[in-house]
Amino acid sequence: MYIIYDDFFLKHHTGSLHPEKGERLSCIKTSLKNWSNGPHLYWLTPARASLDIISLIHHPDYIRQIKHYSTLHKLINLDTDTVVSHFTYDCAVLAAGAAVQGIDQLFSTGAKSSMFFALVRPPGHHAFENRGTGFCIFNQIAIAAAYALREYKVERIAIIDFDAHHGNGTQHLFYGDQHVFFVSFHQYPHYPGTGTAQEAGIKEGKGYSLNFPFAPGTGQDCYLYALDQVVVPLMLKFCPQLVLVSAGYDSHAEDHLSSLKLTESSYNKIMKVVSSLSRICSRGRLGIFLEGGYNTDVLGDCVKETVKGCLDTSYNIDNLSQEYEGIDDGCRSLISYLSKKFGVIHG
């Protein structure tokens, strides 16, 4: 797997009390570098994205606004949570460059791996065309999807988001687009207040947005049940040519920004399923982007388990139903509703 990273991302300063801080990347880097029994990981340093590519998603006026704010040598708040400081623009442009580099690697002849993990900040999935929200400046995963659609003529892309917070920016950007199937697992009600089960897309994109608004306290079994009963059959039918993941670890039981109950091993199991889908449908082409995750005591191991799950080629997706038990009535009702809404038929 390619790990796309640069220490330059640590320069995006958000203030001493802000949870989205550089230590997040430092602990992940340490965990992966110290993984003595792990496979060889190919570390790549990203280059800055061109403004033409960033403009595939973001309005030029917004891009110029972030660049201007970054010259002011002080903290500028786009909203109560989202901060621009001196190096924010350069970090965001570099993060967009990581998206481009990852896609180029996946479609490169002779590539060493069909997977990448972009360890970037600021995060991206709450960023809209003309505004940043929820810690996010540029939407890297959306840029990656738009770039793949344009540059490599990909026709079907799946974006799977397991951050604790609904990926409202990403959903909005592709809400009317049948080429991008967006799936989000998140706590609800919670920030940003979107991502209900009724939100399923509009116009040509109707039926291509799938939301799992999980109640506080939801754990691993419900995630695996949702994958087995809804996501896997829909993805096998859609058959994406590229799978992208917004990996947010604030869904961990020890992360204070949500009340979800995943553990390190949960991400391993989720990614075994997702990577299996990528091998079945997209020749293993899988790109992962770091989103949330703010407990640095567990974050490094969460990412390591994610990578381990991706690299487990022995996993049989047909055995997924054996991975969960004890589904509560609320989760069962939600999955039943979504199965009917999206026309999933079980034998």
Which positions are catalytic?
126
181, containing H or E segment: strand 180-187
Question: SS3 for 125?
Answer: coil
3-class secondary structure, 25: helix
Cα distance between residue 26 and residue 23, in whole Å: 5
Strands 42-44 and 180-187: unpaired
The C-alpha angle 291, 296, 300, rounded to 5 degrees, equals: 75
Distance from the Cα of residue 285 to its chain's centroid: 15
Q: Which two tokens stand for residue 324?
A: 């969960």
Quote the tokens at residue 109.
């002849």
Cβ neighbours of residue 169 under 8 Å, at least 6 residues apart? 124, 125, 126, 127, 128, 133, 134, 136, 139, 142
CB under 8 Å to 21, separation ≥6 — which residues? 14
Pair 8, 94: CB distance under 8 Å: yes
Q: Name the amino acid, one letter, at 138.
A: F
